[in-house]
Structure 1
């Protein structure tokens, strides 16, 4: 049987296998803090609808110099599509190296695009990569990366204003890991072709929520599918299939924001398979989705997203959502409260099983030979 299908079945089997243990675990009886602080009056508005078939698997969005850049994931990620504000295609930029599975896109401090070639549904890659791309010249370089703890699938790239890239993994059943280059190496310091070692610097859990959308009825609200950073580097957006979480980082430290602050949660429009998110220069937030076999979905906008994230009346101040890895391990060993998120058992089981089903249905990427 194809490796992708086998891996998906193993993921589903794993979810089913641990369900009895989860059901036996005591429930805290509290709503998951990973739901963040809901901003119910925040609304997305229609902007435009792409028409280019190259964006049927839209996975990454970025805005630079008045242009909107979009890219699909594996199989449609050989070039970046350039669009105007009406989603009309104005050009394409070939990816300078053969990608494996690009899942997100960010903007560096100097305006270069950074393509997050970090998709690994089968969790078999020995290295992942960031690919730089100069939107003016089309030139770029490959920068391989290695995880310290084995392969991960990741669809989220955040670039701090100091140029340090932060990768958030997409995990089933366990916390999503937060990784950056060892010692906080910035983009300009990454070896080419590398690899550069990554270090795990924290974790984050999101959801579950009752927001409709995504490829499965439940579970999609816990899977991290994309990220973006505001132009001034002080707000990070991390999305699932159903919701987007806005983290305020006035000092520019995104890792600190992700691991020690309460995000503002905004329910996303009901998208078939939403994976793309990007900030405009004015601090609004664009959200896009794959077609998932249907018509191309619209790109929609949340006005004033940056201001919303900074509003203390929504954010509720600084509350630890996820302790650092070392602190969590130490506290868990002592039997104390880790300060990490607690999910009620029924919600966790439901999300876990649905996430396994989502993996079974969504892992359809073909196996490809690759430079890694």
Structure 2
């Protein structure tokens, strides 16, 4: 069992959790040198590269980081950036990367364990976006979270049922509040890399969502199944320091949070790391507040104190770090084909 230090501290606008982040194993297989998506069923892990080699490959790993088999699907993705595992075993690939913001549609690939797949094209309502995070809510509805170097990450979901025959329009349903941090890591020495969203994951019971940047994970409680509402709340931040290009994040069914990075410039591999009992961190501890003294004069004139009058336990989130343009800084691979 992995040790965990469940330490929480309130910060401006969010809570900071500093649990133990434990190295589990190291991926050295070159087939995952651009690891961008990770999922877990408790016994094995599923991982995807974001390179374009003309077809979908999902690598199945044991818990020593060894690839045991490959699931191939006859699809031609443009830029797969994330991976989600549905309760029925379907693996959802987020073919939503668009560094040049040139795509008329983005796509989701739903891949069964036997490699059969379905392609769903999606359109944004307000122009083109680059996105690297996919979340499936408790009903199985996909939510795409954009990667914004300026402004807040945006959350989109399909307006209706997905259709293999025609693109499905999406609607914006939330904005995520993420601030820059001083956590070291990422491909550049810039505050931008600490606030752009590079991956997402949902707990097995659908009650905790996680988004990650290159340097930190953010945990959002989803108590009532309303994922869009939850993503507009103040999250709990878990630092994931010193990952060269952290893009992969997942939950084990027992609530352990997993993270991993692309191999980085040296190309020597990626360490899968774990935070035990991470879902328990998503709800900050209750805070004790002292009620204000009663007003002088007639007690009957004093309005009753309600829960809405009490100070919020999380505080009000401060203004974000100064926006820096990321385009041109994070030089990525050019894509040969469109979704």
Q: Do the two structures share a fold, i.e. TM-score over 0.5?
A: yes
Q: How far apart are the structure 1 equivalents of 2:209 and 2:331?
A: 27
| 2:327 partner SS | helix
Contact 2:52 2:335 in 1 (8 A): no
Q: How far apart are the structure 2 equivalents of 1:65 and 1:271?
A: 23
Q: How far apart are the structure 2 equivalents of 1:292 and 1:231?
A: 30
1:195 is the counterpart of 2:167: yes
For residues 1-372 of structure 1, what are the structure 2 equivalents within 5 Å? 33=13, 36-40=14-18, 42-64=19-41, 66-75=43-52, 78-135=56-113, 137-182=114-159, 185=160, 189-218=161-190, 219-259=192-232, 261-294=233-266, 295-313=268-286, 341-343=317-319, 347-348=321-322, 352-353=323-324, 356=325, 358-370=326-338, 372=339
For residues 207-257 of structure 1, what are the alpha-carbon distances to aligned partners after superposition, in whole Å with 9 as ceiling and x for unaligned?
211111111122211110000000000000000011100001111211111
| 1:216 partner SS | coil
Q: How far apart are the structure 2 equivalents of 1:257 and 1:296?
A: 34
For residues 1-26 of structure 1, what are the alpha-carbon distances to aligned partners after superposition, in whole Å with 9 as ceiling and x for unaligned?
xxxxxxxxxxxxxxxxxxxxxxxxxx
Cα–Cα, structure 1 residues 65 and 320, in superposed 2: closer, same or farther, change >3 Å? closer
Contact 2:82 2:94 in 1 (8 A): yes
For residues 70-118 of structure 1, what are the alpha-carbon distances to aligned partners after superposition, in whole Å with 9 as ceiling and x for unaligned?
1111336731111001101100011331110000001223221100000
Please give the root-mean-square deviation of Cα atoms over the aligned residues, in Å: 2.2
TM-score, L = length of structure 2: 0.84
Contact 2:146 2:153 in 1 (8 A): yes
Instruction: Give how far 1:119 is off.
Output: 0.1
Contact 1:109 1:161 in 2 (8 A): no
Contact 2:12 2:314 in 1 (8 A): no
Cα–Cα, structure 1 residues 230 and 37, in superposed 2: closer, same or farther, change >3 Å? same
Q: How far apart are the structure 2 equivalents of 1:309 and 1:283?
A: 11
Instruction: Give how far 1:172 is off.
Output: 1.4
| 1:213 partner SS | coil
Contact 2:177 2:234 in 1 (8 A): no
**How many residues are treated as equivalent by the alignment?**
304
Contact 2:48 2:57 in 1 (8 A): yes
Q: How far apart are the structure 1 equivalents of 2:25 and 2:166?
A: 39
Cα–Cα, structure 1 residues 269 and 147, in superposed 2: closer, same or farther, change >3 Å? same
Cα–Cα, structure 1 residues 124 and 64, in superposed 2: closer, same or farther, change >3 Å? same
Contact 2:15 2:314 in 1 (8 A): no
Q: How far apart are the structure 1 equivalents of 2:328 and 2:318?
A: 26
Contact 2:79 2:335 in 1 (8 A): no
Q: How far apart are the structure 1 equivalents of 2:277 and 2:158?
A: 31
TM-score, L = length of structure 1: 0.77
Cα–Cα, structure 1 residues 65 and 305, in superposed 2: closer, same or farther, change >3 Å? closer
What is aligned with 2:7? none
For residues 173-207 of structure 1, what are the alpha-carbon distances to aligned partners after superposition, in whole Å with 9 as ceiling and x for unaligned?
1111110011xx4xxx3101431000011211312
Contact 2:52 2:336 in 1 (8 A): no
Q: How far apart are the structure 2 equivalents of 1:369 and 1:279?
A: 31
Cα–Cα, structure 1 residues 318 and 111, in superposed 2: closer, same or farther, change >3 Å? farther
| 1:282 partner SS | coil
Instruction: Give how far 1:313 is off.
Output: 4.1
More helix by share: 1
Structure 2 residues without counterparts, runs of 5 or longer: 1-10, 290-310
Instruction: Give how far 1:65 is off.
Output: 5.9
Q: How far apart are the structure 1 equivalents of 2:46 and 2:116?
A: 16
Contact 1:32 1:343 in 2 (8 A): no
Instruction: Give how far 1:311 is off.
Output: 4.3
